[in-house]
Chains A and B, each alone.
Chain A
Amino acid sequence: MSQTQSVQQAASEKGWEPRIVAFLCNWCSYAGADLAGVSRIQYPHNIRIIRVPCSGRINPAFLLRALQNGADGVLVSGCHPGDCHYISGNLVARRRFSLLKDLLQYVGIEPERVQFTWVSASEGGRFAAIVEKVVEQVRHLGPNRKLVKTL
C-alpha cells in the first residue's frame, strides 16, 4: 500500500475531516460565499473563511503558514479578471498564484492542496460547487503531513 493510501485509510477510520482555509476577497468571492449562504445552498462545512480586501493582498506566506499550522488545504478566490474592485489587484495576483502553484508542485506538495479560483459576487452556486470539489479532492489525499510543524 502506498504511503498516501495508508494515510487515507488511517484518516478515514478515525473520522478525520479535511480542514480547508479559504482566503476570499471581500468584494466578489466573500460576497459570493455569502450569497450561497443566503440562498441556503448547502456546501461542505470543512471550509474556514478568511476575508481579505483583495486577492492581491494574498502573500504566499499566508498559504504556507496555513499549511504549517495544520490546514489540509488552502483555497484562494478573487474577482474575475477585469472585475477587480481595485482594478488590477487580481491581475497581479494571478501571476503570483500561478508561480506559487508551480513551485509547490515542483517540491512535491500535492497540487490539489493549494487551489485558486475566481468567484464573483453573484456566483453563490459556483462557490458552493468549487468548495465541494476542493473538499473532496483534499479528502481523497488524506491529512496534510508535509510542511506541518508539530510544536
Chain B
Amino acid sequence: MTEKRISHTDLEGLLGRLGERGDVFAPGKDEGGDVVLMGPRHDGPVALDYRNFRLSPKAFLLPQNQTLIRFEDGKAQEPSVPDRETFLFGVRPCDARAMSALDKVFLEADPPDPYYAQLRAKTAVIALACTQPVSSCFCTSVGGGPGDGAGADVLAVELESELLLRPRTAKGEEVLAFLGDLLTEATPAAVKEADERIRAAEDRIAPVKIDDSVQRLGHAYDSPLWEAAGQKCLGCGICSFLCPTCHCFDITDEVRGGTGRRVRTWDCCAFPLFTLHASGHNPRPTPKERWRQRVMHKFRYAVENFEQVFCVGCGRCVRNCPAGMDLRTLLKTIGA
C-alpha cells in the first residue's frame, strides 16, 4: 500500500473533492469553542488544534436514535438509508480502533446486524494520528497507540508542513486513488518524520499496567474493591454513552394509533434499571454489581468472546465522570 502526502494548505481542497462524492465530516469549532466533528461540510477552515472530541464518533455507525422499521396501518417498511457515502476526517486512532471492536460485535454476529452493516459499508474513516496525547489517554496500555490505524481506512499523520496519508484498507486505497492528482507520493523522509512523531507521542503516554488485568479479573469476582469503587457511581450513562466501544442498546416501539416505528436507542449497564426483570428482581441491584459487570465485560468477557479488550484508552470516561471514578486506578489493583 503506497503512502501519499498532501500539503496542509491543500487539506480543504481534499475535503472539498471528497464532498463531491459524499457527506464530509471534519473537525470544526462549535459556538462553545469546542472542536467537534461537523458536517456535512461545505467549506471553511478545518480546526486541527484539538486533542479529541468530547463525544465519540460511534454515533455515525450506531446512532443514538435509529429507526429500524416504520409501520403504517399494519404495513411495515424498512426506512430508506441514503446511499450517499460518509467521510469522517479527523477521527483519532483510539476511536477508529473502537470501530473495529464494534465491527466484531455487529458484523461477526450471525446474522450480522444489517443496520450497522449498512452504515459501516458507506462510511470511510480517515483517522488523524495524535501528536499531543493528554494525561488521561492510555491507548498504549490496551493494545492501541497514537499512530495505530486499526478500524480506519486511511491514517493521516500531521507533519511539519504536510499530511502523510497511509491507506489501511482496500477502501482506503480506493479513496486515495480517487483523490488522484491532489496527492503526491510520500517521500521516505516524510514516512520517517511520521514514525518519529508517532513514537514521540507514544513516549508521552504514561503506561498503565493492565496487560495482565484479564488474568487478574478471572479470580477477582468477590474482591472488596468492587464495593469500594462502585459506591461512588451515580448510575448515569456518561461513561457508556461517551465510550467509543460501548454498544448496548434498547429497542422500543413508538406507536400512535396504527402508525409508528421501531427504534433502537443507546442503553447503559450502569443504569439501575438495566437488568431489572419483569418480576421485579434485579440481579445487579447496586452500583457494586454494575461496576463489576462493566469492567469485567470490557476487560475479560470481551477478550474471551472477541479476543479484543473493549477499551481503547481514549480516557473519556475518566475525564467526564461526575463522581471522579477512574477505571485505571481499579485496573491497576484488582485481583493483585
Residues of A within 8 A of B (CB): 69, 151
Quote the shortest CB–CB distance from B10 to chain A (angstroms): 42
A69 to B255, CA, bound (A): 10
Quote the shortest CB–CB distance from A96 to chain B (angstroms): 27
Q: Which residues on the B side are within 8 Å of A69 (C-beta)?
A: 256
Which secondary structure dominates where chain A touches chain B? loop
For B67, give the chain A residue with the smallest CB separation: A151
Q: CB within 8 Å of A: which of B170-199?
A: none
Q: How large is the interface on B (under 10, 10 to 19, 20 to 34, 35 or more residues)?
A: under 10
A122 to B231, CA, bound (A): 59
Q: CB within 8 Å of A: which of B55-107?
A: 70
Q: Mark B258-278, 1 if CB is under 8 A from A, else 0.
A: 011100000000000000000
A151 to B256, CA, bound (A): 8
B254 within 8 A of A: yes
For B259, give the chain A residue with the smallest CB separation: A151
Q: Which residues on the B side are within 8 Å of A151 (C-beta)?
A: 70, 254-256, 259-261
A69 to B254, CA, bound (A): 11
Apart from A151-B70, A151-B261, 6 more pairs, CB < 8 Å = A69-B256, A151-B254, A151-B255, A151-B256, A151-B259, A151-B260
Q: Which residues on the A side are within 8 Å of B261 (C-beta)?
A: 151
For B261, give the chain A residue with the smallest CB separation: A151
A69 to B257, CA, bound (A): 10
Q: Which residues on the A side are within 8 Å of B260 (C-beta)?
A: 151
A151 to B259, CA, bound (A): 8
Could you write out 8 A-B pairs with CB less than 8 Å apart? A69-B256, A151-B70, A151-B254, A151-B255, A151-B256, A151-B259, A151-B260, A151-B261
Q: Which residues on the A side are within 8 Å of B256 (C-beta)?
A: 69, 151
Q: Which residues on the A side are within 8 Å of B255 (C-beta)?
A: 151
A131 to B255, CA, bound (A): 29
Closest 4 CB pairs of A and B: A151-B261, A151-B260, A151-B254, A151-B256
Quote the shortest CB–CB distance from A62 to chain B (angstroms): 16
For B70, give the chain A residue with the smallest CB separation: A151
For B71, give the chain A residue with the smallest CB separation: A151
Q: Mark B221-257, 1 if CB is under 8 A from A, else 0.
A: 0000000000000000000000000000000001110
Quote the shortest CB–CB distance from B11 to chain A (angstroms): 38
A151 to B254, CA, bound (A): 7
Q: Kindly name the residue among B254, B255, B256, B259 whose own CB sees the greatest number of chain A CB atoms within 10 A.
A: B256
A151 to B255, CA, bound (A): 8
A69 to B260, CA, bound (A): 12
For A68, give the chain B residue with the smallest CB separation: B256
Quote the shortest CB–CB distance from A72 to chain B (angstroms): 16
A151 to B261, CA, bound (A): 6
Quote the shortest CB–CB distance from A67 to chain B (angstroms): 13
A151 to B262, CA, bound (A): 10
Quote the shortest CB–CB distance from B65 to chain A (angstroms): 11
A38 to B259, CA, bound (A): 36
Quote the shortest CB–CB distance from B72 to chain A (angstroms): 9
A151 to B67, CA, bound (A): 9
A69 to B256, CA, bound (A): 8
For A70, give the chain B residue with the smallest CB separation: B256
Q: Which residues on the A side are within 8 Å of B254 (C-beta)?
A: 151
For B260, give the chain A residue with the smallest CB separation: A151
Quote the shortest CB–CB distance from B212 to chain A (angstroms): 50
A64 to B256, CA, bound (A): 15
Quote the shortest CB–CB distance from B253 to chain A (angstroms): 10
A37 to B72, CA, bound (A): 36
Quote the shortest CB–CB distance from B53 to chain A (angstroms): 28
Q: Which residues on the A side are within 8 Å of B70 (C-beta)?
A: 151
Quote the shortest CB–CB distance from A128 to chain B (angstroms): 29
Quote the shortest CB–CB distance from B22 to chain A (angstroms): 26
Q: Which residues on the A side are within 8 Å of B259 (C-beta)?
A: 151
Quote the shortest CB–CB distance from B145 to chain A (angstroms): 44
A115 to B70, CA, bound (A): 34
For A69, give the chain B residue with the smallest CB separation: B256
Quote the shortest CB–CB distance from B76 to chain A (angstroms): 13
A151 to B70, CA, bound (A): 8
A31 to B235, CA, bound (A): 47
